[in-house]
Amino acid sequence: MSRVCPQCGSDKIRSGTLHAHDGVRHLLLHTPLRCRDCKHRFWVFNPFKPLLLLLGVGVLIGATAWLALDQQAIPPTGHIPESLPHSLAAQGDADAQLQLGMRYAEGDGVVQNDKEAAKWFALAAKQGLAEAEYQYGLALLRGRGVVQDYKAAFSWIEKPAKRGYAKAQYSLGELYRYGTGTAIDKARAYLWFNLAAAQGVDAAAKARDSLVWQLKPEQIAAMQEEAHRMSHSTSAPAAPTATPAPATP
């Protein structure tokens, strides 16, 4: 059917443009037109728009229903891996205690709880697990889940650092550098930064280099020599005791 202008009756019609103030009914059901002669703008019903609208709503409903069914189809196995660390941790397994502590600290699969995290870190740390000692030391240092205690934090972080744990070595260097839980000792800070840097901790390398101008050459030389000695004593496995050969008659 030919379209004519309701204002002047002209059949010289062109498509109009949409405007922000056009009503929702017009936008969803009609098409704007404009008369080339009198410039009158008017609307005509567009039968395709309701069909497209219904199609879009149907697709949206279908997608929502599919996602809901898909979620229901997933077996509720999420509690299995969460209960496993609890069970093993309660039995005294240090690795499970550390894992459980990390979950509580990060809110991974459980409600985030600093106090619970510190509790499990402490239990695993008392069994000599390096990462647990380090994490418990950080909890004490920051007062997260436990009463803040700089001296105790220093003691716990020092344990894995002396056994070659790079993250703890870097943190111990920071404690010496700023006198947290111990007296300020830039030379010892340099030592621990140097040890951590040798294991690839970039931040430790930068911290070590920033201390060079604050130390005397003989201090640097002494700390480098001690770092060399310590790195060999912590990285090299203990040699088995050799059985002495029987004396030759």
Which pLDDT value is given to residue 29?
A: 66
Residue range 71-97, pLDDT digits in tens: 655 444 444 454 567 889 999 999 999
The answer on pLDDT for 124 being more than 60 is yes
CB-CB contact of 144 with 117 (8 Å): yes
* pLDDT for 191: 97
What are the domain boundaries of the chain? 13-69, 149-234
Angle of helix 217-235 versus helix 186-197 axis, rounded to 10 = 40
Greater confidence (76 vs 34) lies with 34
pLDDT value of position 15: 72
Report, as an integer, the average pLDDT of 117-140.
Answer: 97
What is the rounded (10 degree) CA torsion for 189, 207, 157, 122? 160
Q: Are 230 and 196 in contact (CB under 8 A)?
A: no
**Mean pLDDT, residues 189-212 taken together:** 96
Q: What pLDDT sits at residue 231?
A: 82
Cβ atoms < 10 Å from Cβ of 96: 20
Amino acid 248: pLDDT = 38
Structure letter (DSSP) for residue 180:
S
pLDDT for the residue numbered 137: 97
Residue type, 218: E
Longest Cα–Cα distance of the chain, Å, equals 133
pLDDT at 236: 41
- In the prediction, which pLDDT does 148 show? 97
Whole-angstrom distance, CA of residue 49 vs CA of residue 32: 13
> What is the per-residue pLDDT for 19?
67
CA angle 59/63/66 to nearest 5° reads 140
**What is the per-residue pLDDT for 130?**
97
Residues in the chain: 249
Q: Is the pLDDT of residue 167 over 80?
A: yes
The pLDDT score that the predictor gives to residue 1 is 47
**pLDDT per residue as tens digits for the range 132-145:** 999 999 999 999 99
Q: What is the pLDDT of residue 11?
A: 73
